[in-house]
Amino acid sequence: MLWEDSPPASPSPSREPHPPAPPSSLPVKNLDSQPQGDDKSASALDLSHNREQHVLDKHVKRQMARQMAEEARILRLEEERQREAAEEAEELNALREFYTTKWKKRKTDINEAEAEAAAAAAAAAAAAEAAALAHNNADEDFVGPLPPQEARDAAALQHYGKALLPGEGAAMAAYVQSGERIPRRGEIGLASNEIDKYEKLGYVMSGSRHARMNAIRERKENQVYSAEEQAALAILKQEDRKEKEERTLAEFRKIVDRTLGPGATE
């Protein structure tokens, strides 16, 4: 009876039953549908491979296009460089030809100018020699001292009196010789004939109001008018003297022809 009251013996560890496995959350592969999944993965792999191949082909084509464009650009640059080199060579040849022609022409002009200068110098030397010879002959004909050349040149000029600025008398005489009114100081904006017309109407110019300036102006104008009148009278006297001499000579020829016969005075 002790056997019945004793606790049951513990089971052996090796014989302990395994607990039931929990339900798994992983899908259970269906052996019947396994071939269909393989086809999808294969098609997906083919599609991915085709896409990668397409991308690779596009990349290769792009690289080839870039390479061709670069080669075309290099060829274009080389052609432009050759064309520029040819243009520069043409410009250099044109410049060389231009300057060569210009230098030849300049050399010819220099030679012609030198020849002309030599001819002019020879002509001037001959003229100076002839003038010196004539001057020596004239000096030999004249007996007595001569005034300096400057004094003789000054004596040849016409004098318009004293108290005139250099060239003032000749400038005023130019208006007198052309028959115009001598302009006065301060008369700006009107011609001499217009001022003369206004003065004849009774207007008085501003330069004529100052008594001293007006007196000086009148004195200078009178000097010039007197000198021009004297020159004109001298010309008239010279013409009259010449006509008188011609008449006298004609009378003498008539007397000689009448006395000695016609043609004796020839």
Write the pLDDT tens digit of every residue in 231-242.
888 888 999 999
Mean pLDDT of the chain: 75
Lowest mean pLDDT across 38-42, 121-125, 140-144:
140-144
Q: For residues 178 and 171, give the distance between their C-alpha atoms in angstroms, rounded to a whole number.
A: 11
In a domain, 30, yes or no: no
Whose CA is closest to 205, among 168, 179, 196, 173? 196
- 143-175: pLDDT as tens digits: 666 666 655 555 555 677 777 888 888 888 888
Most confidently modeled range among 20-24, 99-103, 117-121, 249-253:
249-253
In a domain, 113, yes or no: no
In a domain, 118, yes or no: no
Number of domains within the chain: 1
In a domain, 64, yes or no: no
| 174 alpha-carbon distance from chain centroid | 39
DSSP letter at 116?
Answer: H
In a domain, 244, yes or no: yes
In a domain, 192, yes or no: yes
Domain extent for 171: 159-260
In a domain, 252, yes or no: yes
